[in-house]
Structure 1
């Protein structure tokens, strides 16, 4: 390690927080109920809680007796303000198409799809499996599911039919939402074929909704399979949120299954909502003029929290990219940051190390001066990757942060 690196790399051992951070930690330790009550009060509750927290570790219950809806907090709160016409999602597809959805447009789509789900018989407590590419409709499906009080299970679109079937059966999903296909490194992957294979072993599924991403001809089973656009065309424009108990599950997310059978982790509504709202605020210092880009797929907890719920709860603009990080060239990510003016950027050490192998010449081609905060997530970052990220991507001026939690432990 060079002397320059030694002066910059963070050393956490023995560091004592000072100033505002010290006061926050002190308050959280001495008055946890007051501390978390104050944070939760920044969000909307149809009914206030009777008790902030009860139980003993690790079996805590948060905001007991309170009722809320995470879709309402992510959308309706903002639609009633100047953020109504602010960009909620900026999306870029792998072939290069772009779309922008304002908070009002996203709110309308979520309401309509919530009514689609209700027309398909989905009600409070039902499970909905989402197996989609990184398109805005995947976010619509998530928010619509929690709007009606149902529980979504987003399955990473890279999983096989067997992996998808396992997760559908474990959750006993009533509806599956998918797409005809997706782009990956310039090639078409037909997702509907994978879904059809999985559904041979999933007796709980009653309906399948298919979004046209590629416009491919796919098998559609009469009475079971429906095109997204056809259902949305006749849907009502408003769906009253289902006001659920704080402890009501909002989603199930499965572990990868690399060490055995995938395990479904249930996240509640109130505790998760407040937790991800707080970390988005404190870790990323999120601001109204920020453009936040978390590169995670929404099939993972990081994608749930920092592509979808965290940014939208704050009324921020979140960027979604569909394709591979280095396609068609190794500077795809850096070109996106420059093109849209990304300010807060959250990715994984694995990706950073891949870009290191390509060399900094691909980074230096682009103006990344809009960046003010960098994030690293998913695994500990090694010093070499940290330094390369700090120096070449952040230009030596952006702090590198982490949210420090995982699927099994985060805001459940």
Structure 2
């Protein structure tokens, strides 16, 4: 069935019905996810303190991976490439399942459990998806911090969210420049008091970063060699899944919690209405980690729907034809981004991009 909305009149009618009959509107949307326990109520309470899908238990990692394995284990979950187009990966749902379980095992060995917050500073690489979904597999709360923030801002957010475990990549590349993420994190932790106790580093290429023996863990050193299985932890629909920070234009940035149930269901409905994706589509979200756009698509919608996504590391304006070459290589049919991407492409001139 097509959920795509084609007219302003449809939008107005849906908005009117959803406001007048919110419980009825969202009742059938509950089947967008797989539940361990079905919700007892669709809606409880009044704004701004209402709860959705009350009593239902689920797991985001299970919805993004496990439930697709019977039919899609060999199908592509994600493609990855970078701005230089000199490296490529195709990750099947079976690959995703194995990698997320390994990542979840390591996080559990570091003490991560349900309700804990886990922080991340990562580029747009497969490991960012692995560790994000691994965090959710354990029932923990994910906080992704933007790599381009100042030391003071990152330290404030570490303290505000209370994470004891931080996941980083050693470095990334953007617009031809090397960005040394681990070195930046070392400076933050050396110059500020934070709750971070363990830093789990994903090495990129040559391991040219410092390792603090008591604090630092190198993922390649502890990653399980064989298959492991970590059972997805059941969480109630209204328990927090992730935290996004506001820009701080009205004072200190504020952490906004988003739930495991209603948030994921709402995103999936919204993108069904906008894109109406099918299994034949390939979806590229042009976004940095740390902005809500990235997890909204690459964690809570694309894999939950079971369609292929594209992970792109770097700057889309690095080369004139980079944007079109990525689309052509992966037969991208859906692109979601901000207006910044359009301005970037416009700045490259009138020749095809």
**TM range, normalised to the smaller chain?**
over 0.9
Please give the per-residue CA displacement for 1:120-154, whole angstroms capped at 9, x wherever unaligned.
01111111101011101011111000110111100
Whether contact under 8 Å (1:87, 1:102) holds in the other structure is yes
What does residue 93 of structure 1 align with? 82
1:240 is matched with which residue: 231, 236, 240? 231
What does residue 297 of structure 2 align with? 306
Q: How does 1:220-239 map to 2 (within 5 A)?
A: 220-234=211-225, 237-239=228-230
Whether contact under 8 Å (2:83, 2:316) holds in the other structure is no
Find the residue that maps to 1:56 and give its secondary structure.
Answer: coil
What CA distance in whole angstroms lies between the structure 2 residues aligned with 1:236 and 1:151?
A: 25
Please give the per-residue CA displacement for 1:295-328, whole angstroms capped at 9, x wherever unaligned.
012311111111332111100101011011111x
The answer to whether residue 284 in structure 2 is matched with residue 293 in structure 1 is yes
What is the TM-score of this pair, normalised by structure 2? 0.92
1:80 is matched with which residue: 66, 70, 73? 70
Whether contact under 8 Å (2:132, 2:142) holds in the other structure is yes
Whether contact under 8 Å (1:174, 1:204) holds in the other structure is yes
What does residue 274 of structure 1 align with? 265
What does residue 399 of structure 1 align with? none
2:202 is matched with which residue: 203, 211, 216? 211
What CA distance in whole angstroms lies between the structure 1 residues aligned with 2:248 and 2:16?
A: 39
Q: Cα RMSD between the aligned structures?
A: 1.9
Find the residue that maps to 1:222 and give its secondary structure.
Answer: coil
What does residue 52 of structure 2 align with? 62
Whether contact under 8 Å (2:121, 2:168) holds in the other structure is yes
What CA distance in whole angstroms lies between the structure 2 residues aligned with 1:182 and 1:313?
A: 27
Please give the per-residue CA displacement for 1:190-238, whole angstroms capped at 9, x wherever unaligned.
1111111112324411211100124241110112211112221357611
Report the structure number with the largest CA radius of gyration.
1
Please give the per-residue CA displacement for 1:100-131, whole angstroms capped at 9, x wherever unaligned.
11111011111111111110011111111010
Find the residue that maps to 1:275 and give its secondary structure.
Answer: helix
Tell me which of the two structures has the higher relative contact order, counting C-alpha pairs closer than 8 angstroms and 6 or more residues apart: 2
What is the number of equivalent residue pairs in this alignment? Answer: 345
CA 357–203 in structure 1, closer or farther in 2 if over 3 Å, else same = closer
What CA distance in whole angstroms lies between the structure 2 residues aligned with 1:146 and 1:126?
A: 10
Please give the per-residue CA displacement for 1:63-100, whole angstroms capped at 9, x wherever unaligned.
1111111110111110122x111111101122321111
Find the residue that maps to 2:32 and give its secondary structure.
Answer: coil
Whether contact under 8 Å (1:115, 1:235) holds in the other structure is no
